[in-house]
A and B are shown apart, each in its own frame.
Chain A
Amino acid sequence: MSNTTPATPSVIERRDPLTQSQGVEQGYDQTFKRWPSQPLQRRPLTASELSGPADLTRRLEPVRGDLAGYGDKRAIGQLIHLRTRVVDEDGAPVPGAVVEIWHCNAAGRYIHPNDSHGAPVDPNFYGAARLVAGDSGLVELRTIKPAAYPVPDAAGWWRPPHVHFSVWGRVWLSRLVTQMFFPGDPLNEADAILNAIRDPEARARCIARLAPTHQGPQGALVYDYQIVVRGRRATSSLP
């Protein structure tokens, strides 16, 4: 048995073009300035791409398990509880997966200094957390629902409320950065980013599911969301 990372070899299969953006997207002008004009290169995969850091928390420590706060430090906005499960393509949980989550406040403003949107800052809201998945691949975050906001210089494009996710799977090529959307928001229909996923079923999986309201902690709406990172176990040699 080799001592390489990970212990179980992962297989990475080609992406399905219907379930992934193809790079340049109508209505999203920056993709025309930044996505390569040349076709992407094919390469053989070696141990370099099919390994990855074991225990990323050695370099990235967990920060802020709760973004909503309590009492007079409570952030303004509708309280939500995000239950996100990280699994691989076999459906197996990815325990120890590091998950970064960030989103704007209930007025549509990010904490980032580059956000010049005129919406107010909420002194009790700092919209960035880094969490580590438990044995079942679950990460939970208590926060407030982000607002929609207009994209600067984008001819009336409003981003629907969404939550950014940055996730590490088992190997370098499992890395995933994506966004989670809320069910039933009319802006979802026209969003250039969500609709870059052409396959309707794949797109629907980018939208969280509202859990029955009696199930959650008091005062919060619970949203369930599943993230599938690339990679499955190498085929077993057993019959």
Chain B
Amino acid sequence: MKRLVPSGEMTLGPFFPREFAQGAFDLTSVGGRKAEGEIIEVRGRVVQLDGTGLDNAVLEIWQADHQGRFDNPGFFGWGRAATDGDGNYLFKTILPGAPRGRAPHINFLILYSGLMRQLQTVMFFSDAEDPVLHAVQPAALRRKLVASKDGNSYRFDIRLRGDGETPFFDD
């Protein structure tokens, strides 16, 4: 069969409707059903080249449930949040378990004005053995994908460009 070429990605632009950007940041329940596992917060700040925080940048996440499964009907592992005027975002979710062959992690994608394609990155909970984390070169960059922990709150800052730039993936 002839392969169709995927549509060209284009920027989200600055005017993604607020009602779409908000309201899906809490993954701890779906359809009134509470997920099993340890509730955590994931927060951070998204900045550009000059260090300015970005307003209304959209982040989407996809993660496994507390046992490392992606097919649990009692947990909906997808969520979306938008940054505030200072570039800060917040997700409320469940500490993911380790999927087979992987360390616990949360997939992130970032959509924004000035990003012609979605930027893909991954947040890890520790500098663990993981094929995706260990694919990052040079190795010194790997620590930028490991969140810092404060109680049940994890901080994952994202620098799109410039000194201390976050590693992003091309697939």
Contact = CB atoms under 8 A, between A and B. Distances in A.
A88 B4 CA distance: 8
Given A34-B114, A46-B102, A21 B10 contact: yes
Interface in A86-119: 87-91, 100, 102, 104, 110-115
Main secondary structure of the interface of B (DSSP, over half): loop
B135 A176 contact: no
Contact of B167 (A21, A41, A48, A178): A41
B135 A47 contact: no
A9 to B, nearest CB: 13
A26 to B, nearest CB: 12
A19 to B, nearest CB: 5
Interface in B54-72: 54-56, 60, 62, 64, 70-71
Contact of A28 (B30, B114, B135): B114
A176 B118 CA distance: 8
A156 interface: no
Interface string B40-83: 00000000111000111000101010000011000011110000
B165 interface: yes
A19 B5 contact: yes
B151 interface: no
Contacts of B14: 112, 114-115
Given A35-B114, A102-B17, A114-B55, A43 B132 contact: yes
A197 B117 CA distance: 11
A16 interface: yes
B135 A42 contact: yes
Main secondary structure of the interface of A (DSSP, over half): loop
Given A41-B167, A43-B171, A102-B17, A4 B6 contact: no
B9 A178 contact: yes
Nearest to B64: A48
Interface in B86-122: 99-102, 105, 107, 109, 111-120
A137 B156 CA distance: 36
A21 B9 contact: yes
A229 B8 CA distance: 9
Given A4-B71, A166-B12, A193 B116 contact: yes
B4 A46 contact: no
B55 to A, nearest CB: 7
Given A33-B48, A53-B62, A193-B10, A46 B15 contact: no
Interface string A26-49: 001011111111101111111111
B71 A35 contact: no
Contacts of A179: 10-11, 13
B114 A42 contact: no
B48 A112 contact: no
A200 B9 CA distance: 15
B125 interface: no
B99 A90 contact: no
A173 B166 CA distance: 19
12 contacts: A32-B49, A34-B48, A35-B116, A37-B165, A46-B99, A47-B102, A49-B171, A53-B76, A54-B71, A89-B6, A128-B17, A206-B7
Given A42-B170, A202-B8, 20 more contacts: A5-B70, A14-B171, A21-B9, A34-B54, A41-B167, A41-B168, A43-B135, A52-B78, A53-B62, A53-B77, A58-B31, A90-B3, A102-B16, A112-B15, A115-B14, A130-B20, A164-B13, A172-B107, A173-B120, A175-B60
